[in-house]
Chain A
Amino acid sequence: MAEFNTPDSRLDIYNKMQADVSIETDGEALKVDSVKTMLGAISARLYDLYRKRLNINKQSFLPTCDDEYLSVHGEPYQITLNPATPSEGYVVFGGSNGATISASSSIQSATGLIFTTQTDGTIALQQVTPASISRSGTLVTVSFSTPHNLASGFTIDSITGCTPDDFNITNQVITVNAATSIQFNKAGTQGNASGTIIVQWKSALIKVQSSTAGIATNLNHGTLLKLSEAIVDVNTNCYVDYSGLTNGTDVEDAVSYRQRIKDRMANPVAYFNNAFIESECKKISGITRVQIFNPTTTTAQIAISSITRYDNVAIATSNNHGLLDNTTIIVSGANPVAYNLQTKIIVLDTNRFAYKVAGTPANPTGTIIASFSYVQPGQVRIGILRDDDASIIPSSTEIEKVKNKLLEKLPSNMDSTDLLVFSPIAVPQNFTFSYLYPNTTAMKTAISSSLDNYFRSKNKIGVNDKLASLKAVIENTFDPTGKKPDFTLSSPTQDNSIGLNQISTLGTITYP
């Protein structure tokens, strides 16, 4: 018997039916050939019905249903197959000052991908004083105090006013190495430039979206795109900005879809509980992991290195504080004590936050500490990851999408500011091997793949990676010939240290 007491074959049924008829009729009925023929036909049809019953039972349960029946189990929970999504991001256009690029203009990549501008844009003259210019070898690095919104491959007009003047350039193609920094090669004086320096270019930064969907529509920063049709006074070449074009995802595969339904059925879902939130987050294409932090009585502390007051606003500095807007903190250790308050804060940037103080006390001294409950009653903190993307860390646009999705279902007694959706800060974990056997390309590829998989599935936000766990990942790697590695790591040599709002990512791997 197969599953659900289903006979193995038509013959099994025929033999049994023949035996039953023979017993009842003392063998008389089977002496007539046409009776046996008829029993054969009936048993064949009975077998069809057994098979149909087997199929009904299998399709009725998620663990055994075929992929094509998954929607039958998912849709009652409003879990549908996540569609493919287009990529989006920003493109830097160059040209004459004042030239306009209208919304819906078409641009395309060398591989034929089409993108469409989402808004109008006007090319504007930018004249910016850089924070610094320095040269190391032939590499010149220009740093700005705010994001420059440029892209690798773009040509800036000029840099003027430098002393020594061999830092000055005209019509220079640049490489973007950070959101606030550009680089180019030009031999000359080593060290820093000084003077009244102006960096000038003409550009427009315009949001674009791919006209087709899929992960293949994601493009790295600096990718060259071309206008499909010429626009007066606008350069044909344009470039993907430093954030890249992201968010493009393929149609969800059956394995992922089945898992989401299983998660929904396996985890008791009540209104806005953890299982509900995770299920809602994963309705956004590309979200693969959701880590939810509930209110706890656990208190965390961070050191405040300085506080500067402007009117009645205290600006506290604490590197990588990890706090979010609306968090309640308790400040202690400050002198004057007017700064020692229980108060809600507003985050200014990753290193600074602000809160109100009474009066005009002098800037405080002392060993100042901010204590806080990482998640306070009434709040929920949700970290999300996109493990199938080149970077697992979601962009601010992706965070916004998830937050908006959850806001649709926000409990009426919950303030939207208490819904804290965040992308964790990546902490690259580098590996250096001092010894590896077999030291082959295949083994190195296998180890790199194992580590990449670990940092896209096993590690957790706010949790240190144990050195033993990382070693175990390597130890349990097999190369294509079935060999396991013998190795020595010169780094890491201990567990890493991951902050509450951080997650480890795979950094560089150096093999011997």
Chain B
Amino acid sequence: MKDEFNIKTVQEHTIIAASFLPNDNLHFAKNYANSDLYKFLKGMAKNFKDLDDLFSKDWNNMSILTCDNEEFLSLWESSVGIPDNIFKQTNSLSFEQRRNQVLTKLTSLGVLTLEDMKALANLLGLTVTIKTGEEIAYPPYDVPFIPIGEGAKFILVISSKDFNDTGYPPYDVPFTPTGSESLLIDLFQSIKPANTLLIVT
């Protein structure tokens, strides 16, 4: 991180202000802490620091990773459309949880591959297996069997041991997700290609 974004002390601001005064007889006391000139500069420096600190904090808040300000977090949420039908904005969520929601939504932008989808699941603490319809529509059959013809490649079957207690057949069909699972499936539904059928087991 460049020095210009670091928080400076009042003394540092005072010294910086003093450095812009000439090194002549009139201003010789500028570096002496007991001099009137230094004290005057220090009084002003407190006000420079107020603004400079805000700029430095703005820099941090412009990134959701380091945002720690309620006003900025609200703008982040509003920018990415939170609350929506997937992500809620309730008083029960901590600042950290709200920040993670924004981060999850930003991560879901531009998801392209099955690996991207798995990574998104990991962000929510879930490990998923994703197969295409082609992989399971032919012998040896897996569960569920999808007897579909040429459309099989446009089917994604999502499963996870994290989705239920057993994680193995017999599966609970239809699967009713809750909590993070529900969030993940809603996300997958919104990011999957529009011509693809998503089946969750």
Contact surface of A with B, Cβ cutoff 8 Å = 3-5, 13, 16-17, 20-25, 28-29, 35, 39, 42-43, 46, 49-50, 53, 56-57, 60-64, 262-263, 265-277, 292, 294-297, 376-380, 411, 413-414, 418
Contact = CB atoms under 8 A, between A and B. Distances in A.
B54 A29 contact: no
A312 B153 CA distance: 31
Contacts of B42: 24
Interface string B42-64: 11101110010011001000100
Interface string B65-101: 0000001000110111110100000000000000000
B81 A378 contact: no
Given A274-B194, A295-B195, A377-B148, A61 B75 contact: yes
Interface stretch (B21-29, B105-113, B163-171): B105-113
Specify which of A4, A263, A268, A272 lies most central, judged by the most chain B CB atoms within 10 Å of its CB: A268
Interface in B124-156: 133, 148, 150-155
A429 to B, nearest CB: 28
B51 A63 contact: no
Specify which of B40, B71, B76, B108 lies most central, judged by the most chain A CB atoms within 10 Å of its CB: B40
B147 to A, nearest CB: 12
Contacts of B47: 13, 16-17, 20, 43, 46
Interface stretch (B1-9, B175-183, B184-192): B184-192
* Main SS class of interface, A: helix
B197 interface: yes
Contact of A53 (B54, B153, B187): B54
Given A267-B190, A273-B191, A297 B44 contact: no
Given A3-B71, A268-B187, A377-B152, A273 B80 contact: no
B75 A25 contact: no
Given A46-B48, A378-B151, 13 more contacts: A25-B39, A57-B58, A63-B75, A63-B79, A64-B75, A268-B111, A270-B191, A271-B193, A272-B195, A295-B155, A377-B151, A378-B153, A380-B194
- Complex A-B, nearest 3 residue pairs according to Cβ-Cβ distance, in ascending order: A266-B81, A21-B43, A377-B151
A270 B133 CA distance: 20
A5 B190 contact: no
B196 interface: yes
A17 to B, nearest CB: 5
A260 B181 CA distance: 29
Contact of A268 (B51, B54, B109, B150): B109
A274 B190 contact: yes
A294 B198 CA distance: 10
* Main SS class of interface, B: helix
Contact of B193 (A16, A21, A263, A273): A273
Nearest to A293: B194
Interface of B: 36, 39-40, 42-44, 46-48, 51, 54-55, 58, 62, 71, 75-76, 78-82, 84, 105, 108-112, 133, 148, 150-155, 187, 190-197
10 contacts: A3-B71, A24-B43, A61-B79, A63-B79, A265-B80, A268-B109, A270-B108, A295-B155, A377-B154, A413-B153
A353 to B, nearest CB: 20
Contacts of B58: 4, 53, 56-57
A269 B71 contact: no
A24 B197 contact: no
A164 B76 CA distance: 78
Nearest to B52: A49
B197 A270 contact: no
Contact of A277 (B55, B71, B194): B194
A24 B40 contact: yes
Contacts of A53: 51, 54-55, 58
A377 B195 contact: yes
Contact of B54 (A5, A270, A411): A5
A377 B146 CA distance: 12
B81 A273 contact: no
Contacts of A276: 194
B121 to A, nearest CB: 14
A23 B195 contact: no
B81 A35 contact: no
A20 B43 contact: yes
A267 B187 CA distance: 10
Contacts of B76: 61
